[in-house]
């Protein structure tokens, strides 16, 4: 099999056995990038020299018989809202177009310590605000399954890159579905961990109480490999969970345990959802039937407040964003308007010229929600609804071990189809947003194809800090299906 | 003016820089006077992606202060973001505490003109300080120094319980003594370590009707004296304004005014129609603070003796006047120095006398505290013991004290070396006395004869002995010897 078609697991195995060098791996994926980036537009920065240098170092370590880490030689692409001292971090925004952070994100440190090689930084919706990656201030990313279609968002670059095999795995971030949705649209697997499982230190904040970093890859095992490296407590993020409360497990150990007796929750409220593509409903039905055959038991659970999730999300996330994005003002870093009249104009013109429309829309929404006289009616009420959604899940997880649901109401839509109607666009996240509001983990895995050969995703939601069980359920499913092994035509090396 | 009187209403908002090693939400040094932008890191520079981590020591310092002010300490608090745009605030929001401050409802007792008064404390909370804008020498632009950004600031808000400029000053003194005693701040006002901002207005009663003048907040006060003067100025200004224009709280606006030390006046900075909207909301990057009872108990146990108690003890135990006790206790190190010298065996009366006389004088002359004079407790104790043991008198002690400021030796050694010790040895004094008695037969005769001249002659002989010994004879010993001699020859 060609290098670019290997899973991360197999690639690491070959490097470990010295059948392949890290440099070989890096060259193969750089070549794939060279070949396809023009059509896909998944990447903002490619780091060939940096990657080659790192690869040679790792090969030297391996040649010397030294331990180069669990991900030694693994090429990886990370979303461009994760800070790197060695490469620009743009958040796909004009306001940070030349911004070079003075430090590395926690996940970057962890990856590099483990021997992974960051070969590129991926496109996204500006500041991770969007569901299609069309809001990028830098470029539009295309779906490798159909270049007329969006890859989903906001981690569209991270998902499209893995689908196009520009890297075996990538990192994305998920605030309302931003890992799971593009994973579904691009026919790969993507995990949003429990809030607090992965340190956010160095993730440029959008909605701080919702943001989580997670891996995307071909299958659940590749995701588990990366999770073993990026998760765990970090004292620099006080919202990251201490070992004493939830010790970090080895995510690989439970993968092969059979599912017998696993209780899978089917959400009552999602059964009657209008506007969901029947092909997706059918795929989910197929998946649940397969789970039953594998020994799992289906139970009905209720998430009565889930209907308020989208409204709640667009208050909480935008309120936090309006404050988080206040620092992009042209004074201390980033884009500054060329000829300001006075210091107030430095602020207003730099922001007016630097931010895209969707970012401005969300900043205005959030500013409004936090304003005196509106705070109680909007932000405070949203926090109450959020608590109810959380309680819904706590109750559901008394009856079920995991919850099975669609990822999105549709498969990948066409570029430009929803850009003029932000509200319809917001509804793409209707099935993913609740997990962020509640803080629970969720994974999206390939579960079929539509008549137009577009991938369909299946979402598995887990209890707090129980990523292991959804990874196990995902991996077991992948032992009985081969949707996750499909690579879009034209991306297989000849 | 017929039948006009007025009441002054003053509340204080005080910002105290806490003397922690590091900043409130990052590990940068909390230190001033360094090169601009040298004590900074990605967190306090507000670099994208960074997150704050609370400095527990700063929280403890604020809790200590709150306890000393009899405040209720909250068991659950959170951090809020206060949004406003200014170039010295890199995140364009300040992390502060809004609706759940770490403590509330306390009080401080002050004594003004012998009267005790309780000033209520509304709340104490923590927040991060902003940076500094540097305009000097720049044309068309400013520079920002972020060394101060993120340093811990404790905000104390009083109820409007102060009713004279003097009370405001006394309160400020009391607060400064307290935070110094607690070791939470050096509270140097010139350096901005303690910033007091009075909110002041008047309730005027004229012809049976009440009028409230608009509240003015005064900033830029570099000393407690300035605070008192600014309040006094504001009273006269507001009264004059009201008499001229009739402006009241209802018709005028709340204003911010700046104190001008040169002219001794306050200058209008801005007037605001309505409160600014800071869009406070809980900071999602910081977990709420849950305060454990054990931790609070430990802090309470570690509190030093508070100024009010120490002052009382200095009055009753050491017989200081209220004024002297206040001055001594105002600086914890000085009060500690006193007690240390005492524990080394210095006689209490003598030591008190030294502190309020020459030690205080030298400190005043140099503009430092007694503790900063550089004379150690053992040397102060030694000096006091020399007086207590009748080895020197107080005049010699004062002279010696001055030498101690520049000479590192023990006062006993200096006294010995410079022959300043009192001669109390009876046999050597007797020899000197005998010589004088022989040489002054007339005076001896007068001293023996009851009558007008007796007392004068007695004094003359004593004076001769003092002259001969250059003032070092112990007057009591000489006195006894002389009486004995006069009686003998009779
Ligand atoms: Zn710092």
Residue A227 lies in a domain: yes
Question: Residue A323 catalytic?
Answer: no
**In terms of DSSP H, where are the helices of A371-485?**
381-399, 422-426, 433-438, 467-480
- Which residues make up the environment of ion ligand 1, defined by Cβ < 5 Å? B 26, 28, 41, 43-44
What residue numbers bound the domain in which A21 lies?
A: 3-265+398-485
Counting residues of chain A whose pLDDT is more than 70, the rounded percentage is 99
The helix (run of H) or strand (run of E) holding residue A317 is helix A309-324
A220-230 helix and A467-480 helix, angle to the nearest 10 degrees: 160
Distance CA B146, CA B87 (A): 10
Residue A387 lies in a domain: no
* Most B CBs within 10 Å, among A208, A326, A351, to test the B interface: A326
* CB contact set of A492 (below 8 Å; sequence gap of 6+): A2, A5, A165
Compute the half-sphere exposure of residue A387: CA atoms within 13 Å on the CB side of its CA: 6
Place of tokens 């129980």: A466
**pLDDT for B450:** 85
Angle subtended at Cα A116 by Cα A112 and Cα A118, rounded to the nearest 5 degrees: 85
**pLDDT for A494:** 60
Give the distance, in angstroms, between the CA of residue A38 and the centroid of all CA atoms in the same chain. Answer: 23
* CB contact set of A371 (below 8 Å; sequence gap of 6+): B277, B279
Residue A195 lies in a domain: yes
**pLDDT for B2:** 58
**pLDDT for B239:** 95
Catalytic residue among A79, A121, A192, A418: A79
pTM of the full structure? 0.89
**pLDDT for A155:** 98
Residue A460 lies in a domain: yes
Question: All domains of chain B, ordered by start, with CATH?
Answer: 4-293 (no CATH), 320-417 (no CATH), 426-489 (1.10.10.410)
Is the minimum CB–CB distance between B246 and chain A shorter than 8 Å? no
* CB contact set of B477 (below 8 Å; sequence gap of 6+): B423, B424, B426, B429
Q: CA quadruple A450, A455, A460, A464: dihedral positive or negative?
A: negative
By CB atoms closer than 10 A (0-12, 13-18, 19+), residue A250 is exposed
Tell me whether residues B47 and A82 touch, CB distance under 8 A. Answer: no
Residue A96 lies in a domain: yes
Question: Residue A17 catalytic?
Answer: no
Question: Residue A154 catalytic?
Answer: yes
Mean pLDDT over each residue of chain A, to the nearest integer: 96
CA distances from residue A138 to A43, A95, A144 in whole angstroms, order as listed: 10, 11, 19
Q: Assess contact for A432 and A459: CB atoms under 8 A.
A: yes
The helix (run of H) or strand (run of E) holding residue A113 is helix A106-113
Residue A352 lies in a domain: no
CA distances from residue B134 to A262, A423, B37, B87, B93 in whole angstroms, order as listed: 65, 46, 12, 11, 20
Least CB–CB distance from A320: residue in B90, B92, B284? B284
Residue A61 lies in a domain: yes
Residue B91 Cα, ligand 1 centroid: separation in angstroms?
13
Least CB–CB distance from B47: residue in A102, A239, A331? A102
Q: Assess contact for A470 and A462: CB atoms under 8 A.
A: yes
- Return per-residue pLDDT of chain B as tens, 490 residues: 457 899 999 999 999 999 999 999 999 999 988 999 999 999 999 999 999 999 999 999 999 999 999 999 999 999 999 999 999 999 999 999 999 999 999 999 998 988 999 999 999 999 999 999 988 777 778 899 999 999 999 999 999 999 999 999 999 999 999 999 999 999 999 889 999 999 999 999 998 899 999 999 999 999 999 999 999 999 999 999 999 999 999 888 899 999 999 999 999 998 876 678 999 999 999 999 999 999 999 999 999 999 989 989 999 988 888 888 888 888 888 999 999 999 999 999 899 999 989 999 999 999 888 999 999 999 999 999 998 888 887 778 888 899 999 988 899 888 888 877 777 677 778 888 888 888 888 888 888 888 888 888 888 888 888 888 777 777 778 888 888 888 875 5
Low-confidence ranges of chain A (pLDDT < 50): none
**pLDDT for B67:** 97
CATH of the domain at A20: 3.90.1300.10
Q: List % helix, strand, coil for chain B (3-state, nearest 5).
A: 40, 20, 35
**pLDDT for A449:** 98
Structural domain count, chain A: 1
* Shortest CA gap B91–chain A (Å): 4
| DSSP 8-state assignment for residue A16 | H
Residue A89 lies in a domain: yes
Tell me whether residues A96 and B42 touch, CB distance under 8 A. Answer: no
Beta-carbon pairs below 8 A across chains A and B? 99
Nearest chain A Cα to B89, which residue? A327
Is the minimum CB–CB distance between B300 and chain A shorter than 8 Å? no
Q: Assess contact for B83 and A326: CB atoms under 8 A.
A: yes
């Amino acid at each position: 099999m060609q290098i670019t078609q290997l899973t991360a697991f197999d690639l690491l195995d070959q490097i470990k056995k010295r059948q392949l060098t890290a440099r070989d791996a890096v060259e193969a994926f750089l070549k794939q990038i060279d070949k396809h980036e023009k059509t896909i537009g998944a990447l903002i920065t490619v780091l060939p020299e940096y990657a080659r240098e790192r690869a040679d170092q790792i090969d030297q370590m391996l040649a010397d018989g030294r331990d180069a880490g669990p991900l030694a030689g693994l090429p990886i692409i990370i979303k461009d809202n994760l800070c790197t001292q060695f490469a620009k971090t743009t958040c796909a925004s004009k306001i940070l177009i030349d911004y070079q952070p003075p430090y590395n994100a926690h996940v970057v440190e962890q990856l590099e310590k483990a021997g992974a090689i960051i070969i590129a930084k991926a496109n996204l919706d500006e500041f991770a605000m969007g569901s299609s990656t069309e809001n990028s201030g830098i470029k539009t990313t295309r779906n490798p399954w159909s270049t007329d279609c969006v890859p989903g968002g906001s981690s569209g670059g991270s998902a499209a890159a893995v689908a196009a095999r520009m890297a075996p795995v990538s990192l994305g971030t998920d605030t309302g579905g931003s890992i799971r949705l593009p994973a579904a649209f691009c026919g790969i697997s993507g995990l949003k961990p429990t809030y607090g499982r992965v340190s956010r230190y160095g993730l440029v904040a959008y909605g701080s109480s919702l943001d989580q970093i997670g891996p995307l890859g071909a299958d659940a095992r590749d995701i588990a490999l990366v999770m073993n490296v990026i998760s765990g407590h970090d004292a620099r993020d006080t919202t990251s969970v201490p070992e004493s409360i939830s010790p970090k497990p080895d995510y690989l150990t439970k993968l092969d345990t059979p599912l017998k007796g696993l209780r899978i929750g089917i959400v009552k409220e999602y059964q009657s959802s209008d506007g969901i593509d029947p092909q997706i409903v059918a795929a989910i039905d197929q998946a649940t039937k397969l789970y039953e055959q594998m020994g799992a038991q289906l139970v009905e659970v209720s998430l009565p407040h889930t209907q308020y999730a989208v409204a709640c999300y667009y208050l909480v996330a935008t309120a936090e964003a309006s404050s988080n994005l206040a620092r992009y003002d042209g004074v201390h870093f980033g884009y500054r308007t060329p000829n300001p009249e006075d210091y107030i104009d430095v602020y207003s013109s730099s922001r007016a010229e630097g931010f895209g429309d969707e970012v401005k829309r969300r900043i205005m929404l959030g500013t409004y929600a936090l304003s005196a006289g509106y705070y109680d009616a909007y932000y405070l009420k949203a926090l109450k609804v959020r608590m109810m959604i959380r309680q819904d899940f706590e109750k559901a997880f008394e009856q079920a071990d995991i919850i099975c649901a669609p990822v999105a109401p549709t498969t990948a839509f066409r570029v430009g189809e929803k850009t003029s109607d932000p509200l319809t666009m917001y509804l793409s996240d209707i099935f993913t947003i609740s997990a962020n509001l509640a803080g629970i983990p969720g994974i999206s895995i390939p579960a079929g194809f539509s008549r137009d050969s577009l991938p369909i995703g299946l979402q598995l939601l887990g209890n707090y800090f129980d990523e292991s069980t959804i990874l196990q359920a995902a991996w077991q499913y992948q032992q009985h299906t081969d949707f996750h092994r499909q690579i879009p035509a034209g991306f297989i090396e000849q | 003016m017929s039948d006009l009187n007025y009441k002054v209403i003053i509340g204080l908002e005080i910002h105290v820089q806490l003397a922690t090693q590091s900043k409130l939400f990052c590990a940068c040094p909390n230190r001033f006077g360094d090169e601009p932008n040298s004590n900074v890191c990605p967190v306090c520079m507000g670099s994208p992606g960074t997150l704050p981590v609370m400095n527990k020591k700063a929280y403890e310092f604020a809790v200590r202060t709150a306890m000393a002010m009899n405040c209720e300490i909250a068991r659950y608090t959170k951090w809020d973001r206060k949004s406003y745009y200014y170039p010295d605030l890199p995140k364009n929001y300040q992390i502060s505490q809004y609706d759940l401050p770490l403590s509330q409802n306390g009080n401080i007792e002050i004594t003004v003109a012998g009267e005790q008064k309780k000033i209520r404390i509304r709340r104490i909370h923590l927040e991060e300080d902003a940076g500094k804008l540097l305009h000097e020498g720049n044309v068309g632009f400013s520079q920002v120094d972020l060394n101060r950004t993120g340093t811990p600031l404790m905000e104390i808000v009083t109820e409007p319980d102060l009713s004279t400029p003097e009370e405001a000053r006394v309160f400020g003194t009391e607060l400064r003594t307290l935070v110094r005693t607690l070791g939470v701040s050096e509270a140097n006002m010139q350096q901005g370590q303690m910033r007091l901002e009075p909110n002041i207005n008047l309730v005027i009663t004229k012809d049976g009707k009440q009028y409230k003048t608009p509240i003015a907040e005064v900033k830029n006060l570099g000393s407690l004296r300035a605070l008192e003067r600014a309040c006094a100025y504001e009273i006269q200004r507001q009264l004059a304004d009201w008499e001229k224009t009739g402006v009241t709280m209802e018709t005028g606006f709340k204003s911010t005014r700046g104190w001008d030390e040169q002219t001794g006046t306050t200058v209008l900075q801005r007037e605001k129609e309505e409160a600014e909207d800071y869009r406070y909301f809980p900071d999602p990057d910081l977990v709420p603070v849950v305060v454990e009872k054990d931790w609070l108990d430990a802090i309470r146990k570690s509190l030093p003796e508070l100024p009010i108690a120490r002052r009382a003890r200095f009055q009753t135990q050491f017989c200081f006047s209220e004024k002297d006790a206040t001055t001594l206790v105002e600086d914890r190190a000085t009060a500690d120095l006193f007690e240390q010298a005492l524990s080394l065996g210095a006689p209490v009366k003598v030591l008190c006398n030294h502190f309020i006389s020459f030690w205080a004088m030298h400190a005043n002359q140099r503009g430092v505290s007694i503790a900063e004079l550089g004379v150690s407790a053992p040397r102060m104790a030694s000096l006091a013991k020399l007086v207590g043991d009748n080895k020197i008198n107080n005049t010699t002690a004062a002279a010696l004290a001055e030498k101690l400021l520049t000479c590192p030796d023990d006062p006993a050694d200096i006294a010995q070396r410079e022959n300043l010790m009192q001669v109390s040895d009876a046999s050597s004094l007797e020899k000197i006395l005998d010589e004088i008695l022989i040489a002054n037969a007339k005076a001896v005769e007068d001293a023996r004869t009851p009558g007008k001249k007796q007392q004068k002659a007695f004094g003359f002989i004593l004076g001769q002995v003092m002259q001969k010994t250059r003032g070092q004879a112990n007057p009591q010993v000489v006195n006894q010897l002389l009486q004995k001699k006069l009686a003998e020859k009779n």
